[in-house]
Amino acid sequence: MGRWLLRLVSLLLSLAVIAGFAVAWGWNEFTRPGPLADETTVVIPRGAGMEAIALKLFDAGVVADPRILAIGAKVSGQARRLKAGEFAFPAAVSPREALEILESGVTVVRRVTVAEGLSSGEVVAVVRSADGLEGEIDVVPEEGTLLPETYHYALGDSRSDLLARMRRAMDEMVNALWETRAPDLPIRSPEEAVILASIVEKETGVAAERPLVASVFINRLNRGMRLQSDPTVAYGIAGGEGLDRPLTRSDLRSRTPYNTYVIDRLPPGPIANPGAASIAAVLQPAETDFYYFVADGTGGHAFSKTLAEHNRNVRAWRRHQRTKQIE
């Protein structure tokens, strides 16, 4: 009887030692750096079970043994708390760390940037080409209703929802800037502010010039002068698709609702989607006596108070163009 008991105790001790070694080995495999050489992303679909998730991470090279991941998740209770989505895994991530990433629900953040001055059709093209978005865009939003900005989204987000965010962002930004507008502006509504800002946006790409360009148009409106903006002429002819040739003299006489060489005051709508800086420039323009501006050959513009000064600047610009053609 004593020998049998001794053997049983010896067997149990042996099993305990083996189990201890097994647990130690499993914990080491669960916590040690994995085989991943470089950061990678893995998409975990909704409804995926633990085994399917483990195999996905194994196929992506994140873990060396899917069984270690699955066992570790079940033992720790994490198997029921793993999220779906697109996740980023750093190089050498351990199975334990991989589970923590999946449990956190912090998915990969994607970005799409909408540049200032794009037409709504061009913005829609950017959104349609953004990788990872889903759904169709049936209607192009009205011009001037989308705020140019960098937007973050996750894999599987809706294209139409992203456009809705752009519309809300524009409304909120315009309303906030409208409350801080300078007094006595010849602009009667936030909608008119966006129209004029879209013209400023298309006239200059130099940030420091926006308040100056805005001041020219504000001064002209105050004096009852026509805006005479070339981008409005181009928009009246080609719309948001853009004019792929220089304007002609006959273009400047074209009878379109947007031709500010022909119409008084503002056109009926925006000619692009202006950014916050251009809208702010229109609502807080520089205080100047400028009524004219023309390109100066350096990427910016020469501003003038009188028509005589403006004509001199125009002649200088034409000389610059002729010199460039000779070169």
Query: Per-residue pLDDT for 5 more than 80?
Result: no
pTM above 0.85, yes or no: no
Pair 103, 220 in one domain = no
For residues 99 and 174, what is the distance between their CA atoms, to the nearest angstrom?
44
Residue 125 belongs to a domain: no
Does some domain include residue 70?
yes
Calpha distance 60→83 (Å, rounded) = 17
Q: How far apart are CA 25 and CA 32, in angstroms?
A: 10
Q: What is the pLDDT of residues 302-325, one digit of tens each?
A: 999 999 999 998 888 888 777 766
Q: What are the tens digits of pLDDT across the range 28-85?
A: 677 889 999 999 999 999 989 999 999 999 999 999 999 998 998 898 888 899 999 9
**Domain, as residue range, for 79:** 32-108
Average pLDDT in the 213-230 region?
A: 96
Query: Are residues 196 and 300 both part of a single domain?
Result: yes
- For the chain, what is the domain count? 2
* pLDDT given at position 25: 52
In a domain, 7, yes or no: no
Domain final position from 108, 131, 147? 108
DSSP letter assigned to residue 305: S
Tell me, what CATH number does 55's domain have? 3.30.1490.480
6 lies in some domain = no
Supply the pLDDT for residue 296: 84
Q: Which two tokens stand for residue 26?
A: 């499993």
Task: Answer yes or no: do 100 and 222 share one domain.
Answer: no
Q: Which two tokens stand for residue 206?
A: 């130099």
The arithmetic mean of pLDDT across residues 4-33, rounded, is 59
Residue 303 and residue 200 in one domain: yes
Q: Are residues 203 and 308 in the same domain?
A: yes
Say what the pLDDT of residue 242 is: 82
- Boundary-marking domain end, from 108, 126, 161: 108
Is 67 within the bounds of a domain? Answer: yes
In three-state secondary structure terms, 237 is helix
Q: Are residues 306 and 192 in the same domain?
A: yes
Query: Which residue, of 90, 108, 126, is where some domain finishes?
Result: 108
Q: Are 75 and 203 part of one and the same domain?
A: no
Nearby residues of 199 by Cβ (< 8 Å), 6 or more positions away: 217, 227, 229, 231, 232, 260, 271
pLDDT of amino acid 327:
54
Instruction: Tell me how far apart the alpha carbons of residues 128 and 121 are, in angstroms, rounded to a whole number.
Output: 10
- Checking phi first, is residue 297 left (phi over 0); if not, alpha (psi -120 to 50) or beta? left
Residue 77 located in a structural domain: yes
Average pLDDT rounded to a whole number, residues 154-163? 95
174 touches 194 (CB < 8 A): yes
Query: pLDDT band at 148, cuts 50/70/90?
Result: very high
Report yes or no on 233 lying in a domain: yes
Separation between Cα atoms, residue 172 and residue 123, nearest integer Å: 19
The CA distance from 116 to 212, in Å, is 18
Q: Is residue 145 part of a domain?
A: no
**Mean pLDDT rounded to a whole number for the chain:** 90
Rounded CA separation 18/47 (Å): 37
Q: What is the DSSP string of 131-179?
A: TT-BS---SPPPTT-S--SEEEE-TT-BHHHHHHHHHHHHHHHHHHHHT
Measured between alpha carbons, how far is 123 from 113 in angstroms, rounded to an integer? 9
Clarify whether residues 101 and 200 are in a common domain.
no
User: Per-residue pLDDT tens for 186-210?
Assistant: 999 999 999 999 999 999 989 999 9
- Would you say 270 and 198 are in contact if contact means Cβ atoms under 8 Å apart? yes
